[in-house]
A and B are shown apart, each in its own frame.
Chain A
Amino acid sequence: MTTTDIRPQTGRSAAVRRPSRLLRNLSSKVAMLPLIFTALVIFLGGTIWTVVYSFTKSGLLPRLSWAGLDQYERLWSSRKWIVSIENLAVYGVFSLIGTLVIGFTLAALLDRKIRGEAVFRSIFLYPFALSFIVTGLVWQWILNPELGLQHVVRGMGFESFTFDPLNNPNIVMFGLLIAGLWQGTGLIMCIMLAGLRGIDDDIWKAARVDGIGTVKTYIRIIIPMMRPVFVTSLVLIAAGIVKLYDLVVAQTSGGPGISSEVPAKYVMTAMFGGQNLGQGFAASTMMLLMVVIILIPWAYLEFGGKRRG
Chain B
Amino acid sequence: MANIGMLNAANAVTMPLGRTLPEGPRGKKPRKRLSRGNIIVYGTLFVVALYYALPLYVMIVTSLKGMPEIRMGNIFAPPLEITFEPWVKAWKEACTGINCDGLSRGFSNSVRILIPSVILSVAIASVNGYALSMWKFRGSEVFFTILMIGAFIPYQVMLYPIVILLREAGLYGSLTGLVLVHVAFGMPINTLLFRNYFASIPEELFKAARVDGAGFWAIFFKIILPMSLPICVVAFIIQVTGIWNDFLFGVTYISSPDRYPMTVQLNNIVNSVQGVKEYNVNMAATLLTGLVPLVIYFASGKLFVRGIAAGAVKG
Contact = CB atoms under 8 A, between A and B. Distances in A.
Report the contact-size class of chain B (Cβ under 8 Å from the partner). Answer: 35 or more
B290 to A, nearest CB: 4
B128 A46 contact: no
Nearest to A245: B248
Most buried by A among B45, B62, B187: B45
B26 interface: no
Contacts of B267: 133, 137, 249-250
A21 B63 CA distance: 64
A281 B154 CA distance: 12
B164 to A, nearest CB: 8
A132 B146 contact: no
Nearest to A270: B156
A29 B161 contact: no
A48 to B, nearest CB: 9
How would you classify the secondary structure of chain B's contact residues: helix, strand, loop or mixed? helix
B286 A129 contact: no
B216 A31 contact: yes
Nearest to A268: B156
Given A112-B41, A142-B55, A129 B12 contact: no
Interface stretch (B87-95, B111-119, B301-309): B301-309
A78 B274 CA distance: 30
A35 B147 contact: yes
Interface in A183-230: 186-187, 190-191, 194-195, 208-209, 211-214, 229
B219 to A, nearest CB: 10
Contact of B293 (A36, A129, A246): A129
Interface string B114-139: 00000000001001101110111111
Nearest to A41: B165
Interface in B286-315: 286, 289-290, 293-294, 296-298, 301, 304-305, 308-309, 312-313, 315
Interface in A37-64: 38-47, 49-51, 53, 62
A43 B305 contact: no
Given A35-B124, A152-B74, A43 B147 contact: yes
A7 to B, nearest CB: 8
Given A147-B279, A211-B12, A287-B156, A182 B271 contact: no
Nearest to B184: A38
Q: Which 10 A-B pairs have the closest CB atoms?
A: A43-B150, A131-B245, A28-B135, A27-B216, A46-B161, A129-B297, A46-B158, A3-B136, A39-B146, A284-B156
Interface of B: 3-4, 7, 10-13, 17, 20, 37, 41-42, 44-45, 48-49, 51-56, 58-59, 62, 70-71, 74-76, 124, 127-128, 130-132, 134-144, 146-147, 149-150, 152-162, 164-165, 183-184, 187, 191, 203, 206-207, 210, 215-217, 241, 244-248, 252, 263, 266-267, 270-271, 279, 282-283, 286, 289-290, 293-294, 296-298, 301, 304-305, 308-309, 312-313, 315
28 contacts: A32-B131, A32-B132, A35-B128, A35-B143, A35-B191, A42-B161, A47-B157, A126-B56, A129-B290, A129-B294, A129-B297, A131-B246, A131-B290, A132-B245, A135-B55, A138-B55, A138-B286, A139-B55, A141-B58, A187-B312, A191-B309, A214-B11, A242-B154, A250-B270, A250-B271, A267-B156, A268-B156, A277-B160
